[in-house]
Every structure is written in structure tokens, then in C-alpha cells.
Structure 1
Amino acid sequence: MTALDDAIDQLRRHRGISRVGDPEIVGGGDGGWLVEIDIPVELPSRARAAGVSATGVKSVETCTLAFNRWPLRAPKPYLRSDFPRDLPHINPHREGSPVPPCVFEGSLDELLHRLGLDAVIDQIIDWLGKAAGGTLIDLSQGWEPTRRDSCPSTVEFSAERLIAATPADGAVLTTAASYVTVGDGMYCRVQPELTPQAHVPFTQELRGKPERQFGAGLFPAFIARAAAIDDQFPVIGKYQPDTVVDLTSLLDLAGALGIDRTALDTALSDYYRASVFGLVQNYKSWQKGLLALVVLVVKRPARLVGSEGRDVEVLPYVIRYDIDPTSAFKFTSSVHAAFHSHAVSPELLARTSGLPQAVTQAKAVLIGCGSLGSKIGMHLARAGIGQQTFVDNEVMSPHNFARHALLEDERTLVPYKAEQMRVALERLSHLDAKAYDLDAVDLFRNDQKFAEVVPADAALIIETTASLQVLIAASVSAVLTASQVRLARAALFGQGRCAVLILEAEGRKARVDDITAFLFELCRWLPALRAGMAGTSSDPRKVFVGDNCRSLTTPMADSLISRSASMVAMQTQQWISDGKPSSGQLCVGVSDPSNIGSSWKVFEAGETTVLDIPDDGGWQIRVLAHVAHAIDEDARRWGRLETGGALVGRVSYEARTITIAGMVAAPPDSVRSEAAFILGTQGLAQTLTEAHAASVGHLMFVGTWHSHPMGGNHSGIDKNTLRKIATDGRGLPAVSLVWTPQGLICAVDRW
């Protein structure tokens, strides 16, 4: 039994079919068959006696199924040639030919292979029932655009720009378009400026191999709509059958849509004569025919389905003139409907990405346009977030192309990475992108440069340099502190196994250096994070890419960086689109070395307690929120007894900042009393060494803390203890932190 026999048996078992005809072979050896099926249609009660609905659908409709390349392709349904054609969801066809309904929003082939032949038939039955009841479309849901499901040509332009450029007085707008022929159709692009031109000369150049030649060149686009009356365009609320096949039927449709048929006919006739009898090219060389594009613009009674807020439809058609080689005055014309493709624009990118249009107005500053930064920038740009400012003073080097988002392009003469990113975004239609050849450290230190580069209403600054110098400059930046724009920092660790994204809290209540210290504190308690941060070795491996020791990089596959960049971009995109939390955020993506998957976790960083200490020349002590909370809990738990422990953190001499990121519990030989707390020594050195190692070498012992339940400043004993710790620290500053019911107080000493 053949595959077609199986299909016919299945049709005969379908309860919604009353008759299945014998297959009729068509197309010679092409393997095609036509099979008629009768489908009883549920008519509205008031139409059952007459046997036909008000919309012209009969109680039993015969549908012809065209099987071609079965079972790989689904059968195409066709209804009788006199079936009502002024209904929505009907595909373009020749007048007098069988009517092809559009019964499924998507590919029938995919429906067939997903749910089977019965599902295809169910769609046809459902379509006929809705056609009989006049419910194929509900205007409250929008106007169904004219079907363009199987068009040989594609036309690219911005519908919004084209509509705005079309004359309101009914005149035909002539503008230029470029094209390449593709099989029986073409792909063409209307110039985005839509500049009116009195005459656009037709050109055609044959390209490609002899066996697969295609035509390419320029031709005109004729754009027409009905004239406005009292500043209002006429509304066409009736579905017109798309039966355009030649010039006559095209002009007939234009007239039915209220468009000046004579004006359009005159424009096309003038174009034909100017092209054939002009001196630009010999028409006998046009092997692909003389071509033109016509776009009819129509106002509908409701917004178009799939087009946000737009109630104007655009209908593109491609005209081909085949000129008689014996006489330029003789020709035949064929016209077919073309598929409209929106020109790339920020709005299209956002819509395609499922983001609100508001993101196209969001501004972002990307500092660092290397492998990670370039990929983040391009991800955001392709999501419609194109008002980006790029900052990078490095030039592209050949080895950069192993992992950079951009490819080498001879058209980009400027070598700086920032400028190349700006050019790339411009090609994605983001015309407001900017580039600065500027050192990030200078940016954070210079008020004037910061004001020039960073828009006051920017949604985010994203720093991706992986430079510790930049991290420090950003941490202590006074201009950044005064700004309302928040800073995020993205970096990769452990040869790319760990992706980290940090977002500062509002008002810098948790700074980027605070949250970086928090990251390494978490490594002490999360083994998977620690392993990811450490990678395969304690030091990044180096690879030389030039003839000098300055040319080195960390070996890392492009796909690995892309994985991390996509997670970072998704998170920043969410912050830009949906809003940023007020608290600081630490986002970490850790890959499992045994597979290619990666997790993504978000930790909240609370407000940092800041203590400015004049001791030892002046230090700023920054106590992370979780440390301050743990100290408070422990002090209150012991009540009137003084308690305490050791502190681990990070010392920055450049910023004269000591960040307290974690604690080590008091050893068991510690002594707690109402008069004093004596920190024990049993196992303390070993515990501090383990804390240092578990934090991937980032955190170290920075001092101690203890409580004063009755309040009061550092006692003489406290100061002597601090001096002893500072002496043992061999020049490192030491912290003595005291908890009181009124808050934390601190002292710093160094020997």
C-alpha cells in the first residue's frame, strides 16, 4: 500500500468528511495527486433552510486536496472557483481559478508532521465553519492583512516611513529601489530615505555562474494611496480578493481601493517608455525582463493584526515586462504579490526580541569593547537597545577576531574598537550610537569627560574591561557618586567557567568593590562557585599572539565567551526593559566542567556600612551588609557579655579603603565576660588560612571585632590589642571594629 493509499484511508475514516473521491494524478511524473473531499458545514440556523450562508458558504463544500511530495509536504486545500473571495484568510490567486483558503496560522507542513493529517483536515473544517458564520475575523482583535504566504518575491522597507512619505493628494510617489532576482521572483530593498525622484532609470547586470545567473540593479518603486478628503483618508473595510496577475488586474485593484488608477497607469507607462527608449541600457540585454515595484497603501477600519497601532496596510506587487525582441512597442506583463519585510530598525529588533518599544529609547554606556563587551553590546543592539555609547582606547589586533563579536571589515578604516562597534550598530539601523577613544580611568576621574560621554538619563553604565585599575577608579569616582546613572560590571573568571555581573545599589549604597568582595566571600561557602572562579589553575594561562611580551591573552573559546555574554546581556536587558532593583545585585553564572550547561543565580547585596576613620592618615572602612547583620545578631545573642571574632576582607592602598567582607568565628578558647572579650588562638591561624584559600586568595585577615554591650569607645586594652595585631601584620593596616547598641565604631593602626 502506498503513502497516498494510507492518506485516502485516513480521510475516509475522518468523521468530518462525507465523501472522498478517487485520486486524480496530475503533473506527469511529478508525483502529484488531486483528491476531492466533501465537507458538511455547520451553517447558522437562519441559513440552513436555504442551504447557503449569508457569506455564500454552502451546507456541503467540496474541497480539493493537492498532494505534492506527499508525505513530506501537507496537501494544499482549494475550494470551488466561485467560492466567495471577499473574505479574510484567502491566499492570492488568479481570478476564475480554485480559491486557496489560508486555514492555519503557520506552516501546514509543520502541522502535518506535528499532529498528523487529521489536524490539517480539522483546520479546513474549522475555517469553513467560521467562513459560514462570518467569524473568520473579529475587528476588535484587528484587521487581518492580505495573505502573502507563498510569494516568490520579498520587498524590504519600513512600513511606517513609507506610509508617512506617501503624498496625501493621491499623487504617485516614485522612489528608487535595488533588487536581485531570485528564481521566479526577486529580493528588493526600497531606499530608506524614500526620496521622490522624477525618473528612476532601470538597470540590470547579470551576475553569478552561467548555470545560476541572476539579475541585479536599480528600478523604481511606485507608491500610491487614495487621496485624503478634509485631511482624512478613506477607509476601505471590505476584503478584496487578491487576484492580481497582470497590469490590468493590478490597476483594477488600485481603483477598487480608491487609488487614482489613471495616475498610476500614467506613471507606469512613462516608466516603460523611458526605460525601453532611453540610453541607459539596451533593453535586449535584460534577460530577466524589465521590472518595477508598486506598493498600494490602504487605510483599514481597525489596526492590523501583528502591527502595533497601525491601521494602514501596504500591498507590494512586482511587475515584469517581457518585451518583444522584434518591437519595443510590444510587450506582455505579469504581476505577482510580494511579501513585505520590514526594514531593519530599532523598533523591528525590539519587536522581534519580544521587548516593548520603549527599550529603543533607552541609553547605555559600554566601557570596554573587547571579546566580552562587544558581544554584550551586539546582543543589546539586536534587542533594539541601540542608543549605546562605546568607550575603549584600544585598537583591534588580529588575534581579537578569534573571539570578538565583529569581523574584520575593510570598509571600517578606523582601527579603534569603540568606533568599529559604532559602525556595526549603524548597520543595524542604530544611528544614535556613539564612540569615544578614551581611557576608562580618565573617564571616571574627569568631571567634564564624564558629563560629555555619559548621558544624564542613561539606563546603565556597563563596564567590561576586567581591569583592576578601572575597578578602583570606578569605586572611588566622585563624579560617578554624584551621578544618577548606575554602574554594572561584567567579568569572566576561571578561564571563562564563571561569568559575573555586578549592579551597584541606588545611591551607591553598595559599590562595585563592595559587591566584588561579596563575590569572593561567597566562594568560601559555595564550593561550586569557588571551583568556577578558580578554574583549572590558580593563575590565568598566557598565550603570546605577537612578537613582544605585551601581546598576551587568556585562551578561551569564542563559544564559551558567547555563552557568558548571552547570560550577562539577558540580565542587563531585563534591567533596562523592566527596571532595576534598588538594592545591589550579584549575578553569577557557573558552568559545570562535566557538561556544557551553566547556572545563573542572583544574590542581593544590602547597604554597606561606611566608617570614615582618620587614623593612620585616613581610611574608609566598608562593612558589607551581611557582616554588619551577623555582628549585630551575635552581639545581641550574648547580651551583657562581650563577644567578638576575626574579620576577613580586602585592603586597597590606592583607594585607602578596607572592605570587611566576612567573619571567622571566635575560637573555642575565647573568653567572654561583662568586662572584656579575649579572642582565643586555638586553630585561629589555620581557620584564617583556610578562609584565604577558600576565597580564591582574594580575602585576608584584616582585624578583629568585639562588642561593647554597655556602649563606649575603644578602651586602652582594645588599642593595645590593635597595636599588637598591627605589629604582627608587618606593615598591613589592621582594623578594630566595636559593636555598640548605638552602632559600629572603628579604629585602624599599622606598625
Structure 2
Amino acid sequence: MRVSALLRALETIERHAEFVRWRAPLATSVDEPEVVFDLGVDLRPQWAADGTSPTGVRPVEAITVQFPVDYPNSPPVFRLRADFPRHLPHIQPDPLSLAPRPCLVHGSETNLFRRGGIEAMLAQLVYWLHAAAHDRLNDDPTVWQPARRDLVHDQVVLDLDQARELPKGRHTFAYQSATYTSLNKKGLPRLHRVLLGPESVQLTPKFWNGLKHAELGPAMHQGSSLAVILRPAPLPANAAFVADRYQPDAVHDIASLRVSLTDWRCNEAFDSFLAALNKELPQLEINASYPIPIALLVHVPRPRTVAGTTATTETMAYVIELPKGKGHVLAPNTPVRLAAVLEQTGPKLLQRFNQQDPARATRGWVAVGSGSLGSKIAILAAHQGRAPRFVVDPELQDPHNYARHALRPMSPEAPNSLMVAKVTAVSHEIACLQQPCEPWMSSVELAFSDPARLAKVHTLANWLLLNTTASVMVRNFLTREAHTLHLPRCAEGALFGAGRVGYLALAGPDHNPNPTELFALALQRFGERPSIAEAALSPSAQLDTIHTGLGCSSETMLVSDAAITQHAASMTTALMRLHEGDLPPTGTLWIGEQSDDSMSLTWTNEPVAPFIRVPVEVPPGGDSWMLHISSEVHARIESDVRAHPTTETGGILWGCVNEALGAILVVDVLDAPPDSERSVASFVLRTEGAKQAQQERFKRTHGALYCVGTWHSHLVPSGPSEQDREVARKIAEGGLHANALLIWTPAGYRALIADAMADPSLLPT
């Protein structure tokens, strides 16, 4: 303890306006020095003359302040006189052997001390005494303070919202199944944790004889039991009863419990239960070496919302122990143990602790991919009470997967000896968080070819489908089939460049833009930021892999578990914000870049308008092609056309080709070379500077984007001219991939394939 800090504290107390005198000198012979002083309380004149307020507060109160041994690292403790009234609200729960301690602040007294020192604590104490004298400690018009309990023995775990629905209808009591775990360790107080079950039960001999009990070890026991739930009987004329008098909960045996239950109009229901129990107990033998806990829950209606909840019902919990052996009955002096009410793990609890609104609907979604990134997003979402409803992945968990997977092995032997499906591991973890999650160990193609599974997606998981497989085949499938199969909007998450770059994309309404269009646009954005392009697209980035075994197909991306977790947290944050709110009216693209020291991420996001999709004219019997034009490209083409209203104009299309989908994706345009010729009847694309411009643009994305054709305008609505077809043939002659000739007309776009392989007559016969 710092002596200078202690002396400053005493001086601060003495300078306070309500300080009267030191009642006893500083006691330094104890472990924690303490001092007693008198503090004035502003009472009404009549109360001051009487020497006390109606609540028992005196004009001058003796205050004991205790200084911890590490003061000022820890705050001091203020205590009232030993006989100060304990029936008032906002008194800290403490053993009766200690003098009462006022609750000075909603929150942490340590934080109050950190912010304002002992002066702030003293100010709160003066305010507390004034409010106590005027009986205003529980007069907040918005909340009701829960009853104080000086000693809590046990715990009752439940879904509070569901428990408040019991008893049903006009009934005043309900019997529910329960399970328990008890800790009976020598030298420690016994502790019961009772979990409220989902089934209602009847108090029959069959029920009592069916209770199971087991010892988990020398000090731990578990088994099945009973929970009794009581609700106040209505007032005459069925008027609702409200318990509007604050009182601490001093229940300690059945006699004192009955007094409280009488105040709450629950005594008749309790007596009915007690009679039924005592009827069975003499014949019932408790085959256990320890007492069996029965939980008692009492729903007490309050005039205002109970502090810390959103309900006007305060649920009081107790535990009554059934003695081991046979021939017992419960008497008025049978002990009753106070129990804390704990909200069980579940979506609402998880949402509340993650600063999300539990009132917002939890909408189902599908996680495609349960690898390192996908498992982390799924589990992070589950911790927020918004887990995927289905997880899809065909792979088993291999030993190396545990290096970066969200889940740990189930036992020391598990990572090397047990064959566990990735989806099984993920769904089991989610189930432990009390959320339904069905594992589908299958490829996405097989999963959605099953009509029964597809129907489940339509009804139970129609909010979103998230793909984290980093598979082009999966992306192609979702692009091709999402509309036909009526899948939910698709999102994709992936990492590039050893975790330096994160990618998250959300398809638009009606699957426009789709995953393939968004990925092409992302490549364009990568190219606009050299550091990202180098990390994600350069030849060296493609070699960043780790060998995981011998032979082919034994490589994985070089990236740390920490980097995956870092990106997964950001992606989950974005997705859960949408889950709590609404999906945007457009597509969305997020790109994250890790800092040089790997300590932080910088994310950008942009809305992505629908792509314009133009069917491409192909030779008879040829493969179908579609030209996909980004809104940016469309805007630039329109701007160029407006700049040349009396002549045809044009330029070079830039993007990529997806042969599997028959898609030519255009995400950029290059201006026409300066020697190009524009006239009323034609546009001739020349070559001055074109090669250099294309090489520079090609290098930006390390070849991921390239020339995919040309465009030009027509002044009147018309299709491809013979001259256009000739140009297409010339483009096709030197092309290594399919190109397109795009024509802008006042009536819309037309397109022509420029591909030497487009003619099916070239196939050998």
C-alpha cells in the first residue's frame, strides 16, 4: 500500500461537505487498514427531529472505509453500520456476519474509482444515503431491482423465455423434467446445477422410480430430477396480480419459503406439490450417496421491467434437497437453498452477448465448405447465435487440417486415428451451442441434386449460401444453377497471397451479379492496387504452398492459422451485420489487405450493380456464349457514344473468359488508339499504341485479365453487318481463346462470337 495515497484519501474524505467527524482513528493493526467517520444525511426536518427516516436512515451515519492492501491499485470498500436496515434495494449481497455494503453504481465500482477516485465514490455514497432515506433506491420508472440474496448456493439453468410460458393457460403450477450435476467436494460447500428439461411430467410412482443417478467421480454426481414451476393465482375477477413491494429474498427453509409464496399468491400451488411429494417420499428410496436436488421456480410479476432483462417477471429459483435413503418427508424446517437463474446457452443468449438484437429473426443459411476458412466463419456465426442451418463438404478431416481448422481434436488420439467428416465436426460443435445444423457430406452438385435436400434449403435456409471452398468448379456450379434451382443469394469468401488478401462477395438479387461476375470484377480491383495484385496474382504468389504428404494433390495454401482467423472474423462481422439487418439491394464486393506487420486488416467495400448480359451470336450448332458487361463498362461505353453522336466509335474489351460457363466477362475497356477512324458508316480500330497499352494493362493483373474482344457503335438499331462478321473472323484467326465483337445500338447491345473454334463443322468426322 502506498502511504501517500492513503493519506490523500483521508484528506479527501475530511474535505467533503457532508463529513462530520472521525469516529475512530485509523486502524492499522488489521490486514486492511480501516477508519470510521460520520457522514451527514439530508433528511426532512421532521425525520431529523425523530432521529431517523421512515426507512431507518439516521441524520448522521457511521461509515467504515476499508483500504485494501494494494490500495490504490484496488478501490476502497465502504460499509454501513452493522444494524443498518437490510431490507432496502441496492445493498450488496454479503454474509450477515459482515456490515451492509451499499451498491454505489450500476456497473463496476472499480471503474468508478479509476475514473473519479475516492471522491467519486464518496459522492455516490452520499447520493445513495439520500435515496435510501427517501425510499427512492427502487423508484426508477423504467426498471425494477431484483431481490437481493446474500448467499446463493446453487444454479438453475434454463431457457428463460420458454420457462416464462409455463405453467400453461390458467394453471398455477407445472412439473418439468430436469437433469442435474452436483459437486460434493470435501472442504467446499455443496453445489448443484439443475438444467430444466423440455418435457412435462406427472408425479407418479413410475416417474419417481425412473429417476437415474450416477457418480462421475469421488466428488461429482449427476442424474435426473424434477423442476417445479409456480405462477401466482389470479386476484378476484381474474385481475392480474403484481408484486410491487421490494424485499430481499431471505428464504432459508420451507417455512420461510411459504411466507414468501403467500405474498406472491403461490402458496396453494406449492402446498399441492408438497403434499404430492410427501405422499411418495416414505415409499421412495433415493439410491444415491448424496441428496438429490429438486428445482423450484417462481414467476413473480413486477410493476416494471426487471433490471438486466426485457421482462416484467422476476423468476426466483430455489433448490430443495431430497435426502438419500428412505422414509423421509419434507417438514417446515427442511432447508431451502437459494439458486441463481442462469440463461442456458442458445441463440438469444449468444446474440445478446455479441451485441446483437435477439428480436431480429435468425434466418437459415447454407455453408458450402468446412475447411479452415469455412469452419471458422461457421463457428464464429454460431457463437453469435446465427449458425448455418446446413454445412456441405465431401472431405474427411485429415491430420494436417487441425493446424488451421476452427475445431480441435476430440481426444489426443483423434487427429491421427479417427476418420471424421469435416461437416460432422462442425455441425457437432454448433449443436453444442444449442443450434440446429445438419451435415451433408457431399459435393455441392450432389447435395443440390437431391430434391429432398433442395426442399430443405428452400424452406429452412433461404437467406444465403456462403461458398468458402476456393473451388472454381463450385463457383461455376453456383453461377450456372443458382437461378434454376432457386437457391438463395450466394456469397463467396476466399484468401489469396498467403493470407495477405481477403475476398468476400455477395451476389445481387436474382443472382445478378453472380459469383463469377463478382470474381472477375475483383480481379480488376486487384489490378488497381499493385500491392494486392503482387500478393494475390503474381507468379510467386501461385507457388506459396505447403506439401502435406507424398505424391500428387498434397499441397495447401501457405497461410497461418492466425491470418485465416483474422480474415474470418472480418468476413463474419460483415455477414452477421447483414443477417441481423437485411441484404442490400445490389451485389457487394469486399476486399481486405493485411498490413505489412500482419497486425491489422484494411477492408474496402463497394456496391456492385447488375451486369448486362448479352447473348452472343454463334455459328449454327455452336456452343452458346454470353457476354457479361459490368455497369462500369456500360457507363463508359455510353459516355463514349454520347461524345461521338454523329459517328460510330469503339474500343477494346478487357476481362476474362470462362470456357466452362460459356461466359465472356468484361470488366474494363481500353480507349481506341488515336489513329482509329470514325465515320457515319463505320468505325475502324487501328493499332497506334495499342500493343503497349494492352501490355501495361496485362501486367497489372499478371495476366488474370486480358483482351476479350472489341466494341463499336451503330447509329441506328441494327445487327452485325457483313463488315462486322469479317472483323470477327479476323479477330478469331489470332485468338487463343474466345473473343466477342460487341455492338452498341440505340435499341440495345448485340454481340458476335470471334472464335476460330466456334464452328462445330471443324470437329473431325
- Alignment pair present for 1:725 and 2:726: no
| CA positional deviation for 1:117 | 1.8
Q: How many residues align?
A: 730
1:573-612 correspondence runs (5 A)? 573-612=576-615
Q: Which residue of 2 aligns with 1:211?
A: none
1:135-214 correspondence runs (5 A)? 135-138=136-139, 140-147=141-148, 151=152, 153-165=154-166, 168-170=171-173, 175-180=178-183, 183-184=188-189, 186=191, 188-193=193-198, 196=201, 199=208, 214=219
Structure 2 counterpart of 1:22, from 21, 24, 31: 24
- Alignment pair present for 1:679 and 2:695: no
| CA positional deviation for 1:534 | 3.2
* Structure 2 residue identity aligned to 1:748: I
Q: Which residue of 2 aligns with 1:383?
A: 384
* Structure 2 residue identity aligned to 1:239: Y
Q: Which moved more, 1:569-578 or 1:152-161?
A: 152-161
Answer whether contact 1:94 1:245 (CA < 8 A) is retained: no
| CA positional deviation for 1:567 | 1.1
Q: Any idea what SS the aligned residue of 1:193 has?
A: strand
| CA positional deviation for 1:620 | 0.9
Q: Which residue of 1 aligns with 2:35?
A: 35
Q: Which moved more, 1:181-190 or 1:344-353?
A: 181-190
Residues 121 and 294 (structure 1 numbering): CA distance in 2 closer, same or farther, change over 3 Å? farther
Q: Partners in 2 of 1:536 and 1:15 — Cα distance?
A: 75
Q: Partners in 2 of 1:114 and 1:268 — Cα distance?
A: 54
* Structure 2 residue identity aligned to 1:236: A
Answer whether contact 2:616 2:750 (CA < 8 A) is retained: no
Q: Which residue of 2 aligns with 1:693?
A: 699
Residues 370 and 149 (structure 1 numbering): CA distance in 2 closer, same or farther, change over 3 Å? farther
Answer whether contact 1:481 1:508 (CA < 8 A) is retained: no
| CA positional deviation for 1:245 | 5.3
Q: Any idea what SS the aligned residue of 2:673 has?
A: coil
What CA RMSD, in Å, does the superposition of the two structures yield over aligned residues?
3.7
Q: Partners in 1 of 2:652 and 2:388 — Cα distance?
A: 48
Deviations 1:335-386 (A, max 9, x none): 6644332111111112222222244531111111111111111111111113
- Alignment pair present for 1:502 and 2:511: no
| CA positional deviation for 1:629 | 0.7
1:593-632 correspondence runs (5 A)? 593-616=596-619, 617=622, 618-632=624-638
- Alignment pair present for 1:126 and 2:115: no
Answer whether contact 1:226 1:234 (CA < 8 A) is retained: no
Q: Which moved more, 1:570-579 or 1:107-116?
A: 107-116
Structure 1 counterpart of 2:649, from 622, 643, 648: 643
Q: Which residue of 2 aligns with 1:77?
A: 78
Structure 2 counterpart of 1:437, from 441, 447, 455: 441
Residues 171 and 574 (structure 1 numbering): CA distance in 2 closer, same or farther, change over 3 Å? closer
Q: Which residue of 2 aligns with 1:11?
A: 13
* Structure 1 residue identity aligned to 2:41: V
Answer whether contact 1:495 1:540 (CA < 8 A) is retained: no
Answer whether contact 2:177 2:224 (CA < 8 A) is retained: no
* Structure 1 residue identity aligned to 2:748: G
Q: Which residue of 2 aligns with 1:403?
A: 404
Q: Which residue of 2 aligns with 1:670?
A: 676
| CA positional deviation for 1:119 | 2.0
Q: Which residue of 1 aligns with 2:763?
A: none
- Alignment pair present for 1:468 and 2:472: yes
Q: Partners in 2 of 1:582 and 1:662 — Cα distance?
A: 23
Residues 689 and 174 (structure 1 numbering): CA distance in 2 closer, same or farther, change over 3 Å? closer
| CA positional deviation for 1:188 | 1.5
Answer whether contact 1:64 1:79 (CA < 8 A) is retained: yes
Structure 2 counterpart of 1:234, from 241, 252, 259: 241
Deviations 1:38-87 (A, max 9, x none): 33334468866766545443443333334344414333333334444443
Q: Which residue of 2 aligns with 1:280?
A: 287
Q: Partners in 1 of 2:118 and 2:184 — Cα distance?
A: 35
Answer whether contact 2:711 2:744 (CA < 8 A) is retained: yes
Q: List alignment gaps of at least 5 residues for structure 2.
A: 757-765
| CA positional deviation for 1:574 | 1.3
Residues 476 and 356 (structure 1 numbering): CA distance in 2 closer, same or farther, change over 3 Å? same
Q: Which residue of 1 aligns with 2:665?
A: 659
Q: Which residue of 2 aligns with 1:89?
A: 90
* Structure 1 residue identity aligned to 2:700: A
Q: Partners in 1 of 2:463 and 2:592 — Cα distance?
A: 23
* Structure 1 residue identity aligned to 2:521: F
Q: Which residue of 2 aligns with 1:745?
A: 750
Structure 1 counterpart of 2:304, from 302, 305, 317: 302
> Equivalent pairs: percent with the same residue?
26
* Structure 2 residue identity aligned to 1:655: L
Q: Partners in 2 of 1:549 and 1:585 — Cα distance?
A: 36
* Structure 2 residue identity aligned to 1:301: P
Structure 2 counterpart of 1:520, from 519, 523, 542: 523
Residues 328 and 135 (structure 1 numbering): CA distance in 2 closer, same or farther, change over 3 Å? closer
Answer whether contact 1:179 1:219 (CA < 8 A) is retained: no
1:479-490 correspondence runs (5 A)? 480-481=483-484, 483=486, 485-490=488-493
| CA positional deviation for 1:305 | 2.3
1:355-366 correspondence runs (5 A)? 355-359=356-360, 361-366=362-367
Deviations 1:211-265 (A, max 9, x none): xxx5444585664535423777632111112344566555544444444375677
Residues 93 and 349 (structure 1 numbering): CA distance in 2 closer, same or farther, change over 3 Å? same
Q: TM-score, normalised by structure 1?
A: 0.86
Q: Which residue of 2 aligns with 1:312?
A: 313
Q: Which moved more, 1:161-170 or 1:389-398?
A: 161-170
Q: Partners in 1 of 2:85 and 2:342 — Cα distance?
A: 29
Q: Any idea what SS the aligned residue of 2:648 has?
A: coil
- Alignment pair present for 1:341 and 2:327: no
Answer whether contact 1:41 1:125 (CA < 8 A) is retained: yes
Q: Partners in 2 of 1:171 and 1:227 — Cα distance?
A: 12
Answer whether contact 1:94 1:244 (CA < 8 A) is retained: no
* Structure 1 residue identity aligned to 2:742: L
Q: Partners in 2 of 1:488 and 1:109 — Cα distance?
A: 45
* Structure 2 residue identity aligned to 1:61: E
| CA positional deviation for 1:95 | 6.3
Q: Partners in 1 of 2:330 and 2:264 — Cα distance?
A: 30
Q: Any idea what SS the aligned residue of 1:357 has?
A: coil
Answer whether contact 1:520 1:699 (CA < 8 A) is retained: yes
Answer whether contact 1:456 1:483 (CA < 8 A) is retained: no
Q: Which residue of 2 aligns with 1:458?
A: 462
| CA positional deviation for 1:175 | 4.2
Q: Partners in 2 of 1:629 and 1:357 — Cα distance?
A: 42
* Structure 1 residue identity aligned to 2:61: E
1:45-84 correspondence runs (5 A)? 52-71=52-71, 72-84=73-85
Q: TM-score, normalised by structure 2?
A: 0.85
* Structure 1 residue identity aligned to 2:600: G
Deviations 1:268-295 (A, max 9, x none): 98999899xx56245xxx6xx8876554
Q: Partners in 2 of 1:723 and 1:660 — Cα distance?
A: 20
Q: Partners in 2 of 1:592 and 1:37 — Cα distance?
A: 57
* Structure 2 residue identity aligned to 1:404: H
Q: Any idea what SS the aligned residue of 2:459 has?
A: coil
Q: Partners in 1 of 2:519 and 2:44 — Cα distance?
A: 69
- Alignment pair present for 1:530 and 2:537: no
| CA positional deviation for 1:712 | 3.7
Residues 219 and 84 (structure 1 numbering): CA distance in 2 closer, same or farther, change over 3 Å? farther
Q: Partners in 2 of 1:119 and 1:248 — Cα distance?
A: 43
Q: Partners in 1 of 2:110 and 2:690 — Cα distance?
A: 70
Answer whether contact 1:155 1:189 (CA < 8 A) is retained: yes
| CA positional deviation for 1:718 | 2.9
- Alignment pair present for 1:425 and 2:430: yes
Q: Which moved more, 1:670-679 or 1:444-453?
A: 444-453
